[in-house]
Amino acid sequence: MAGELVAERKSASFDIRELTYLLGGGKERVERREYLQDIVAKDPVFRKEDHLDRVGYFKRSLEKSKRFYQLKTEMNLNMDDIRFVKSAIDQELPTDLHDGMFVYTILGQGTDEQKEYWLPKAACMEIIGCYAQTELGHGSNVRGLETTATYDADTEEFVFQSPSLTSAKWWPGGLGKTATHAMVFARLLLKGKDHGVHPFIVQIRDMETHRPLPGVQVGDIGHKFGYNGNDNGYLLLRNVRCPRHNMMMKFSRVTADGKYEKPPHDKLSYGTMITIRAFIVFDASANLQRAVTIAVRYGAVRRQFSQEAGSKTEMKVLDYRMQQYRLFPLLATAYAFHFTGEFMLKLYRDLQKDLSTGNFDILAEVHATSSGLKAITTWTTADGIETCRKCCGGHGYLNSSGLPELFTRYVPACTYEGDNVVLLQQTARFLLKALADARASKPLSPSVQYLSNIASIKGERCTVKRVEDWFDSEVQLAAFRHRSARLAAVSGRRVQSEIMSGKSPMEAFNVSMIELVRMSKAHVGYVIANSFIDAICDIKRADLRTVMKRLCDLYALYTISNELADFLEDEYMTGSQTKMLRQAIEQCLIAIRPDAVPLVDAFALSDFVLNSTLGRHDGDVYNALWEHARAEPLNKNEVVDGYVEHIRPMLKQQVVVASARL
């Protein structure tokens, strides 16, 4: 068994370790990551358990939170280090939103004095915060939040009310049982005037007893698909107060006598959200990497059906063309998302630079692109994890495969930080505006340059003449650009015609949504392919460049074939080019096969993180499955609890049967 993967690794066309360095930001950074992840793996506090009930699992999660904080302090971990350690801990923690959104909001929306006051407290856990935006009745529509913060000039305080059942905060991570403070998003009321939703830091628990403060009703919202190590909570506020300076005042402020001062630019508070979204794209890659590692390694160990009559030797399931067709595009996608994540971080850094110099030009594009990328990468990853699980046959259904939990913990990424359908509408709004700019010959942002020749798309045709032509990155990008421009034109016409027919712009937008989403998906597809292709040009080592180009081809061509109608509908591509496209894809699958295990090895995911009987580095799958079954609590007793009460009465014909009811 173990021999299977040794042989697979010998067939690598490239230096696996060098690819790990390329992905991981260099030798030093990778070694630092491995050093930290090893500390986590060896720490008994971070052991993984399979059989805890909710209360026990939550208590263990708190223990991990504390241990994480201890490590962070002892080792003086920086931001990079913290990401490494958290990814090694590989579990949601009750303090994740304290470390994340709570602190980010202070960083992004607090004044310098507020940052000086709150950040040190947060850093040393003197307070534990959470991000309390969503309510029972409102998630996507933040402007519809009902919680109110009324200013009381006499005491210089805000007074919070939850005016209805649906106004309860509902979902904030860490709120239920852990947080002492909440970043509460509430409608600011000044002298009866509603100034819309703003963030305030509200203390919700007593610092001595940890009991909810008077007027605070708080708890956990219940068992979830996953994430049960996090106490997503509810919160009702009745006459709860906070000092005036607890309102985050970098952009809007309330003076001591209750005057409101407006923000200079109404999109400024997007900064925090965009950082988060850049990391969401990286996380999509990281999660898909895990799923693909498990399925590819297992596929190289699992043998099923002999391919010659009478032969005892069976075929590795990874050698079935269909298994390759299901898995290798996901392998390519995991790489594509990684490079797209790098592209986004760069975009975000550029944005930060521009914003600090008062330049807001790039903001709309970054917001639109990050929204669309978040939607597409999370959907693709959620579906991809489940495909990988199905590719493991029956054993993929065991928790010990590592895939069920990976899925349940990942899928909410499609919903939190913005429901994906709602986000794609942000992308669509930007694209419609860019289309109008293009028609008016105004300058276009980098990602939508393809709209500049919107007038000439009708005549454009795919230039492929032979199968090999499909491996030309320019040919691939031309197809993506053409499709995006065409669908933008189609969408623009659709919305226009709805408005002409008398609908309001909002109504027109809603009824055109199917087209608009198609357009937005096409745009994002182009951005990802473009990021991947660009990244390859920067790779110095020839062996890595070659294998990455192959994956990039597969990503681009598979995406085109998967959304093929978009390219056929206007006869941009012909039937014979389609046939060549399919041949090109199969050539990619064949070329990637010898590198498949090396390519997942390059992700350098440790057995501790994979936590998978099927995805182990040594391929010793069957012994691992046995080991795991041994630990099942039901196997503690030879005769199961319930035998005497339920099984034996049946076998012994002692089930009391009343006279027939009917």
Ligand X SMILES: Cc1cc2nc3c(=O)[nH]c(=O)nc-3n(C[C@H](O)[C@H](O)[C@H](O)COP(=O)(O)OP(=O)(O)OC[C@H]3O[C@@H](n4cnc5c(N)ncnc54)[C@H](O)[C@@H]3O)c2cc1C
CA 412 to chain centre: 8
Using CB under 6 A as the binding rule, whether residue 415 contacts ligand X is answered as yes
* Paired tokens of 592: 């990637």
Residue 133 interacting entry, from its own copies, ligand X, none, C-beta within 5 to 8 Å by type:
ligand X
With both helix axes pointing from N to C terminus, report the angle between 321-356 and 513-537 in degrees, rounded to the nearest 10: 90
Measured from the CB atom, the residue of 581 and 602 that comes closer to its own copies is: 581
298 binds its own copies (CB under 8 A): no
Q: For its own copies, which residue of 564, 591, 608, 617 counts as binding (CB under 8 A)?
A: 564
Site for its own copies in 131-150 (CB under 8 A): 134, 136-141, 144
Residue number with CB closer to ligand X (318 or 536): 318
Q: Which of 135, 146, 386, 417 is catalytic?
A: 417
416 binds ligand X (CB under 6 A): yes
* Annotation marks residue 569 as catalytic: no
Per CB under 8 A, the list member of 14, 58, 131, 480 interacting with its own copies is 58
* Residue 250 CB contacts under 8 Å (≥ 6 apart), including other chains: 108, 109, 110, 111, 114
Contact set for its own copies, span 71-90 (CB under 8 A): 73-76
Per CB under 6 A, 397 contacts ligand X: yes
The reply on whether position 444 binds ligand X by CB under 6 A is no
Stretch that binds its own copies, among 268-276, 282-290, 311-319, 342-350 (CB under 8 A): 311-319
Q: Which of 94, 402, 412, 598 binds ligand X (CB under 6 A)?
A: 412
Considering only residues 91, 109, 323, 333, which one is a binding residue for ligand X as defined by CB under 6 A?
323
Question: Residue 433 and residue 467: Cα distance in Å, rounded?
Answer: 37
Of 98, 539, 477, 563, give the one whose Cα is nearest residue 342: 539
Residue 194 touches which member of ligand X, its own copies, none, C-beta under 5-8 Å by kind: none
Return the number of the residue (73 or 352) whose C-beta is nearest its own copies.
Answer: 73
* Footprint on residues 602-661 left by its own copies (CB under 8 A): 622-623, 625-626, 628-629, 631-635, 638-643, 645-651, 653, 655-661
Beta pairing partners, 194: 189
To its own copies, the closest distance from the beta carbon of 646 in angstroms equals 4
Site residue total, its own copies (CB under 8 A)? 145
Question: Are residues 186 and 132 in contact, defined by beta-carbon separation less than 8 angstroms?
Answer: no
362 counts as binding its own copies under rule CB under 8 A: no
Closest CA to 66 of 87, 43, 34, 38: 43
241: left (phi over 0), alpha (psi -120 to 50) or beta: beta
Using CB under 8 A as the binding rule, the residues of this chain from 170 to 199 that contact its own copies are 170-171, 176-178, 180
Does residue 304 bind ligand X (CB under 6 A)? yes
Buried b (16+ CB within 10 A) or exposed e, 198-229: bbbbbbbbeeeeeebbebbebebbeeeebbbb
Burial class (CB in 10 A: 0-12, 13-18, 19+), 419: middle
By residue count, the chain amounts to 662
Is residue 512 a contact partner of residue 492, using CB atoms and an 8 Å limit?
no
Distance between CA atoms of 391 and 3, rounded to whole angstroms? 21
227 vs 622 by CB, closer to ligand X: 227
Give the residue, chosen from 89, 97, 197, 301, that forms a contact with ligand X under the rule CB under 6 A: 97
568 binding its own copies? (CB under 8 A)? yes
Shortest separation between residue 47's beta carbon and its own copies, angstroms: 16
Pick 397 or 643: Cβ nearer ligand X: 397
Print the binding letters for residues 441-480 with its own copies: x by CB under 8 A, - otherwise: ----------------------------------------
Options 79, 154, 308, 542; binder of its own copies; rule CB under 8 A: 308
- Within 223-262, the residues that bind ligand X by CB under 6 A are 227, 232
* Angstrom distances, CA of residue 233 to CA of 134, 137, 571: 10, 14, 53
Which residues have CB under 8 Å from 615's CB, separation 6+?
Answer: 290, 293, 294, 295, 297, 298, 401, 402
List b or e across 590-603, with b for residues whose CB sees 16 or more CB atoms inside 10 angstroms. ebbbebbbbbbbbb
Minimal distance, residue 487 CB to ligand X, in Å:
19
Residue 173 touches which of its own copies, ligand X, none (CB < 5 to 8 A by kind)?
ligand X
Give the list of residues 6+ apart from residue 366 with CB closer than 8 angstroms, or none: 274, 347, 348, 351
d(CA 320, CA 508): 48
Distance CA 378, CA 414 (A): 5
For residue 404, state whether it binds ligand X (rule: CB under 6 A). Answer: no
Token look-up 């939170």 returns 65
341 binds ligand X (CB under 6 A): no
| Contact set with ligand X (CB under 6 A) | 97, 131-134, 139-140, 171-173, 227, 232, 302, 304-305, 317, 320, 322-323, 391, 393-395, 397, 412, 415-416, 418-419, 421-422
List active site positions. 417
